[in-house]
Amino acid sequence: MKAKLSTYPQYTAIAQPWVGRTPAHWGTTRGKNLFTLVSRSVRPDDEVVTCFRDGTVTLRKNRRTTGFTQSVKEIGYQGVRKGDLVIHAMDAFAGAVGVSDSEGKSTPVYAVCQPRPGIEAEYYALLIRHMALSGWITALAKGIRERSTDFRFSQFGSQYLPLPPTEEQQAIVKYVRRIEQEAGAAIRIKRRLIALLDEQRAAVIENAVTKGVPGPLALPTSLKHLEVKRIARLVTSGSRGWADYYSDTGDWFLQSGNIGRRLKLKLEKVQCVTIPKSTEGVRTRAQEGDLLVCITGAMTGNIGVIHNELQRPTYVNQHVALIRPRPELINSDYLALCLHSQSGQQQFKVNEYGGTKQGLGLAEVKSTRVPVPPIDVQTSIVRYVAQETRQIDFAITRAEREISLLREYQTRLTSDVVTGKLDVRAAAATLPDADNSNRVAAYETDEGRMNADLDGDDAAEEAM
């Protein structure tokens, strides 16, 4: 669709660097002239509305029902109506801005804004998300830590924003929604492929850890199963309260988001900490051969194995269990396969404590039982699984890369359109009206958007 677009004939500069030049016929005004901050009473039948980092604002139950931190008391909750612009004050920097598709109630950490006449709320949701993804909201923050970023209505209201004519705002929204639908359809196809590949991979692992390697190294039916606490020198979790030690440099501090779904660590973005000498650290310092298990939230059960990735002293937070196996009894990679297998994950699922937030306690992790064959058999199983899943992993990586490229294209094109770098008026006029009825369902199939690290709602609830 981009090939059909052209630039506007004339541009003018705007004071905000994250916008750049805008079409000459567009106006400029402050956010407070576009929206009114509202504070409504909560109705008895109102359910919780959540503002997610992907820009979806909907009833929490529409996305999922687990992995959230629940407020014990809903102090200061406010009413939200369909069509309101909702800005997550603590997570706007990560894109948690959107227009509500539901009626309900929300935490007071959200700014609930009503558009003034002639203002298309969806357009400004897209624009503010561009502001966030460009890094401008983070640049406005007064705090020294990313998670301390606080974007309230007063800051939004003071920002000078582009003001296209109303019909043009609507045309931009229509065009961007079409981009979203097309990219979303392509991503869902690739996600379904990844799901099938994951099923194939899981079957290989399950057969290997329950039946052994085909041939003379098959597992005997009388194989003993031992609890993790009997085959580990240490099972612990990280310390609390280390957020006060966050820094731009220093030691690594691994969190649940650093543990991938396929036994890999995700170290592209690692939080650093500067730890005072008096702070507990020896117990939670990770080393080569350790297993890391996510024990709280939507990613509960994710497992990573530390090989030689650690570039500096590394610690774990309270949402991660650290298992240090006894090397004379069990191979770290083999133990990871057992815990990652369908049998291991089923034990985790049965033992989740539920309540206000899904998760596992250390007692449940320690009591998980795994088959323990001789070390040479364990090593053969690890090699066999690596060989049998190599091509599967390659196909998954390729599909994930294609998804990443699709998202980059969508983000870049959306940014160009909402800031007026490309004229979509003629193209939008040829499009049918957008159907947003399946937006939530579409996002639910995209597991990359469903983990706690992307949702951002936990931060709001924990701040209460």
What is the residue extent of each domain of the chain?
2-188+399-462, 224-372
- Cα distances (Å, whole numbers) of residue 399 to 130, 198, 402, 409: 26, 12, 5, 15
Tokens at residue 215, please? Answer: 């041939």
Tokens at residue 105, please? Answer: 């109630």
Q: Provide the edge-to-edge strand list for the sheet that holds 271-273.
A: 246-247, 271-273, 251-254, 314-316
| 297 touches 266 (CB < 8 A) | no
Tokens 């509305």, located at residue: 49
Higher local confidence (pLDDT), 159 or 444 = 159
The mean per-residue pLDDT over the stretch 239-254 comes to 87
The fold of the 2-188+399-462 domain, in CATH, is: Adenine-n6-DNA-methyltransferase TaqI; Chain A, domain 2 (3.90.220)
Of 3.90.220.20, 3.10.20.70, 3.30.70.270, 3.40.50.300, the CATH number of 224-372 is 3.90.220.20
What pLDDT score does 354 carry? 56
Four-point Cα dihedral 263, 206, 350, 462, nearest 10: 20
What pLDDT score does 75 carry? 83
Query: Does 2-188+399-462 match 224-372 in CATH topology?
Result: yes
- What φ, ψ does residue 253 adopt, rounded to 5°? -130, 100
This prediction's pTM: 0.80
297 confidence band (pLDDT: 50, 70, 90): confident
- DSSP, residue by residue, 101-124: SS-EEE-TTEEEEEEPTT--HHHH
- DSSP, residue by residue, 55-78: S-EEEHHHH-SSSPPPPSS-TT-E
Chain segment 94-122, per-residue pLDDT in tens: 999 999 999 999 999 999 999 999 999 99
| 445 touches 191 (CB < 8 A) | yes
Tokens 């939200």, located at residue: 80
H or E element, residue 38: none
